[in-house]
Every structure is written in structure tokens, then in C-alpha cells.
A and B are shown apart, each in its own frame.
Chain A
């Protein structure tokens, strides 16, 4: 068996005096697609920030290919939720991808032939060639997300972290963007940790699900975890999982009454 890309052992995260999750063991294998689901404020985004080295664990360990996770590891690609770029941004599609190539370096980007070719390859990998020279403020949400995936693929990541990348996209764009992630992880063999509140757009693609709720969690295939009795036990209140027309609908989770908490989760400032 190959070495897991990401490995969490007995991990516990405490933020602001509150334990978000504890005793978490998770291995993400190369090429594996793991979805992270869970209640609002259950620490889904915080899990990604932990892997990014921005929130230290309060107990246990987190390693990337055997090394402790650290800030700014180039072996991690990161795709955030879509937010429309405004008019004041002097960037074209190819420049957004270029930031993934060398945006962390000091100085000014020199337009060399090698850099150009690298960016062209990334644009081709996400099928964004024909709007490569359009201003990013003129692009649709789906087009911008394609470019962000291309940006994250620069540097050939071993692990791709996605934080609600489908949020506020229309159904068609959701399908396109999630297929793009799926195809690339198969072709390139990187692991995917995909935070989402809605499993349906990626239900056919995910290998395993990590479901977080109230300090507890369940890990397993979608069929193992997304069942009424499993989630009822996890939430410790009756929850119904309904499968209809290939979609999963989860009814009765206690957090459905305060749906805004998740947004605060994202608005939190960087450390």
C-alpha cells in the first residue's frame, strides 16, 4: 500500500475554547476523493486550515507525505469558494493561473517563454484556453472556478483542498467544475479533500465521506455514512436520509435552523 498523502492521527482542534473535533483519524490516499460534510460550525473549513498549517492542532498529529503540515507547503493546492472578482482587478484569465505558478515569489513576473508554456498547459488542463485573455471580472462564476483549479494545479500538488468550490454556481457549472476536479485527480493522482454542504453534485465521484457533527464524526463510503441510523446517532437526534432519483436529501439536522453560521466560518480573518 502506498503512503497516504494526508494523515491525521488522534487529531483534536480547539478554537476559541471550543473543541471542534477530537480523536480524528483520517488517511487520504493518492488519487482518493474525500468529501467533508457536516453541520454548520462543525469545523469543516477549520480542518482545511489545519492542513494548510494555519490552525495548529490542540492534540494529535497531521502529516503531509510524512512531514508535519506547515504553512505555505507547495505540495498543496487550494480552491476557495467562488467569489466574483471586481472590476478593479487588472488580471486576465491567464494571469490568475500564473499567480499559482509564481505568485508567492518576490519581484515582478517576467514574461518568459517557459512561464508562458507552463500557463498554457494549465489552461488546457482545465479547458480555459478560449477565455485566457479575457479580464477575470468579465467571466462567469464557473469560468472563474475553472481558472482557480488551473491555478491550484500549478506546482503539481499531492493534495487538493477545496472549500465549497461549487457554492453559488448554477447546476451546469457545478457539474463541469466537479468533473474537472475528478478527471484531474485520476489523471494526476492527487488526493482531494472537498468541503461541501451539498454532496449531490459529487455523489458519484467521492470515494469516502467524512461527516463532522458536534465534536463527533463518521468516516466511510457515502453508502455507509449517509444513512438515517448513522446520522441519527451522530447528531443524537432523529435525522432522515432520503434517497430519490440518485440524490441524497438529509432532513432534520439540528443546524438547519441557523444556516448563517457557516458564512461566519469563512469570514474569519487569517491568523
Chain B
């Protein structure tokens, strides 16, 4: 028994010359302290994105916009690739791309059905456009790949600053519209009857979402934006329905996924996104497993209280 266990564990316990080379590619913590200092900008960017993604994700879930997020991120990728090719800058390009996409989806897709078809039309177009720009770009290939799957080395000071400013706009904007936006997301008709500017709020939210996606594309890459803007909020919603607890948990989950993912990825030769997506997925799985037990307990409690009343 012990022998079998030892045999199974041996590649994990002691990576020897016999084990496949990929282990050291995945996890390599040599010179960790120096790397940490070198890449502190990336860690900060990850933490910022965690806050943005965790907060806005709550509304992505309650407004059922997960698919729209994916569509916006592909156009953001196209914008970033065009920015790289034309020398405008990756951040600027991805901002323009995602804001155009968010505005189009927000203006034309006020109903879920329209929104899904518009997103489905925009998404492959954006991806194709991005691939075209990258194919024409003469620079290094790691830069190109990074836009799709995330990059870690490329966050320099000016870029960190621009990410911080965009993140701040999103977070402050969300806090201002938080309450009426929740109202409009639960029940647009009643909110409108109470004088909430439902349509204007929905557009403002789409623009904030566009900004959040542009930040995410910089860090985790266009293909994996959902792991930051949807998975943490989905996990938080499995655990609670308290309107204060959910955004807090969602933010914690997103920050843990991003910063944890970056810390694990530091010494490796692999993009950061697999680490981020794996952590965020595992958090979701754990949340889902615990939520089943919690729901049963709550329904028992309700039955008892209901019988007394």
C-alpha cells in the first residue's frame, strides 16, 4: 500500500531527471524573491483587476451578461491587436475595442434575445480582426500570444498607472449607480415606475463593463476574461444571497485567483491564465459543493419557523 502510494507520489515529491520536464516549467520557485520584486507591477495589476472583476461580476450575473462579456473581450482583443500593429498602444486599442463593443451591445440588445445574437455576430468578427492584425505584426510572438492568453511580464509603470485609473473609474462608477442598478436588474418595470432611469443606467453599466473588460484583457487575456468577471461572482452567489456579502466574497475570490495565479506563475515559462482560471474554477467547485448543504439546512430552518408562525 505504502509502496503504491510512494510510486504515485514520487514525481510530485521528488522531481528527478526521470520526471517529465514540464514540472519545472509549471512550478519553478528558484530566485523567487528577485522575481517578486521584478514583477510587483503585475501583482498589483492582478489585485486591481480582482477588485474590478469581483464587483462588476455581481451585476454581470444578475443582468445575465456572461455571453456579452465574452463578446466584448474578443473585440477588445481586436482593438489591442490593432493598437499593437498601428503603434497606438495596446491599452488604448483594447479600450477602444471594448467600448465600441459594449456600446453596440448596450444600444441594440436591450432584450436578451437580441443581445445574444448581436454578441454572437460581433464575437467571431472581433477574433478574426485581431488575428489579422497579429499576423501582420512583425514583432515578438510572445506579445501576440499574450493578448489572447494573458501576459505577466509586460506591465510597466505607465501601463500600471493607466490600468489603475481605469479600475478606479469602474469602481467609483459602480458605487454611484449601485442601488438603482440593482433595482433595475431585479425588476426593470418596477424600477422605471419608481423613476429609475433604467435605459440610461443600462448604457452606463455597459460602458463600465467595457472598461473592466479592457483591464482584464491586459492581464488574463481575451479568451479567459470570464474567469475573472463571472466565475468569482458565480461562486459567491452559491454561498450567499446577502447583497453585501456577495460582492465582498466575489471580490475576495477574484483577488485570490489573480494574485495567487500570478504568484504561482512567477517562475514558470507558462502564461499566467491557466493558474488564474484553475484557482477560480476550484473556488467555484468548493462553493458549489458547500452551497448544496447550506440550501438543505436553510429550507429545514424555514420549514420549522414557518410551522411556528
A interface with B by C-beta (< 8 Å): 52, 54, 71-74, 76, 78-80, 85-92, 95-96, 99-100, 102-109, 111, 129-131, 134-138, 148, 151-152, 161, 163, 269-270
Give which listed residue, B199, B241, B299, contacts A90 with CB less than 8 A: B241
Most chain B beta-carbon contacts within 10 A, residue among A92, A96, A103, A137: A103
* Interchain CA distance A270-B175 in the complex, whole Å: 25
Instruction: Tell me whether A161 and B193 are in contact (CB under 8 A).
Output: yes
Q: What is the number of contacts between chain A and chain B, taking CB atoms within 8 Å?
A: 121
CA distance A105 to B241 in the complex (A): 21
Asked whether, in the complex, the Cβ of A138 is within 8 Å of the Cβ of B195, the reply is no
Q: Which residues of A contact B175 (CB under 8 A)?
A: 107-108
Cross-interface CB contact of A78 among B180, B194, B299, B305, cutoff 8 Å: B194
- Give the Cβ gap from A195 to chain B, nearest Cβ, in Å: 13
The 25 sampled A-B contact pairs (Cβ below 8 Å) are A54-B192, A71-B195, A72-B193, A73-B195, A74-B195, A88-B237, A89-B185, A89-B186, A90-B61, A90-B62, A90-B246, A91-B186, A92-B241, A92-B243, A95-B242, A99-B183, A99-B186, A102-B179, A103-B191, A104-B191, A106-B177, A109-B179, A130-B306, A148-B190, A270-B188
Is B241 in contact with A89, judged by CB distance below 8 angstroms? Answer: yes
Contacts of B193 in A (CB 8 A): 52, 54, 72, 76, 78, 161
Can you name the residue of chain B whose Cβ is closest to the Cβ of A155? B194
Asked whether, in the complex, the Cβ of B194 is within 8 Å of the Cβ of A104, the reply is yes
A interface SS class = loop
Q: Which residue of B lies closest to A89 (CB)?
A: B62
Cβ distance B295 to chain A, nearest Cβ, rounded Å: 7
What residues of A have a CB within 8 angstroms of the CB of B195 in the complex? 71-74, 104
Contact mask B286-309 → A, CB, 8 Å, 1/0? 000000000100110010011001
Report B237-260 CB contacts with A as 1/0, cut-off 8 Å. Answer: 100111110110000000000000
* Interchain CB contact (< 8 A) of B241 among A54, A102, A136: A136
Tell me how far the C-beta of B249 lies from the nearest C-beta in chain A, rounded to whole angstroms.
Answer: 10
Contact at A90–B242, with CB atoms within 8 Å? Answer: yes
Assembly CA distance A88 to B241 (angstroms): 9
Distance, CA A71 to CA B240, complexed state (A): 35
Q: Which residues of B lie under 8 Å from residue A136 when comparing CB positions?
A: 186, 241
B177 to chain A, nearest CB (A): 7
Q: B300 to nearest A CB, angstroms?
A: 12
Contact yes or no, B241 A104, CB < 8 A: no
Q: Are A130 and B179 interface neighbours, CB within 8 A?
A: no
Asked whether B176 lies within 8 Å of A78 as measured between CB atoms, the reply is no
Query: For residue B58, which residues in chain A have a CB less than 8 angstroms away from its CB?
Result: 90
B161 within 8 Å of A (CB atoms): no
Residues of chain B with a CB closer than 8 A to A270's CB: 188-189, 192, 198-199
B196: Cβ under 8 A from any A Cβ? yes
Alpha-carbon distance A52/B189, docked complex (angstroms): 11
Inter-subunit contact A103/B180 (CB<8 Å): yes
Q: How far is the CA of A152 from the CA of B110 in the complex (A)?
A: 25
Q: Given the complex of chains A and B, what is the CA–CA distance between A152 and B58 in angstroms?
A: 25
Residue of A nearest to B174 (CB): A108
Specify which chain B residues have a CB less than 8 angstroms from the CB of A161 in the assembled complex.
193
Let me know if B182 is at the binding interface, CB within 8 A. yes
Interface presence of B140 (CB below 8 A): no
Q: Which residue of chain A has the shortest Cβ distance to B238 in the bound complex?
A: A87
B156 at the interface (CB under 8 A from A): no
Q: Report Cα–Cα, A89/B185, bound state, in Å.
A: 8
- Give the shortest distance, in Å, between A155 (CB) and chain B (any CB): 8
**Structural contact, A104 and B183, CB atoms closer than 8 A:** yes
A97 and B161 CA atoms in complex are apart in Å by 41
Contacts of A88 in B (CB 8 A): 61-62, 64, 234, 237
- Asked whether any CB of chain A lies closer than 8 Å to the CB of B178, the reply is yes
Quick one: given A90-B58, A90-B243, are A100 and B194 in contact (CB under 8 Å)? yes
| Interface contact B176-A106, CB-CB below 8 Å | yes
Q: Is B186 a contact partner of A78 (Cβ separation < 8 A)?
A: no
Contacts of B186 in A (CB 8 A): 85, 89, 91, 96, 99, 136
Name the B residues within 8 Å of A105 (CB-CB): 179-180
* Separation of A100 and B182 alpha carbons in the complex (Å): 12
Query: Does A103 lie within 8 Å of B243, measured CB to CB?
Result: no
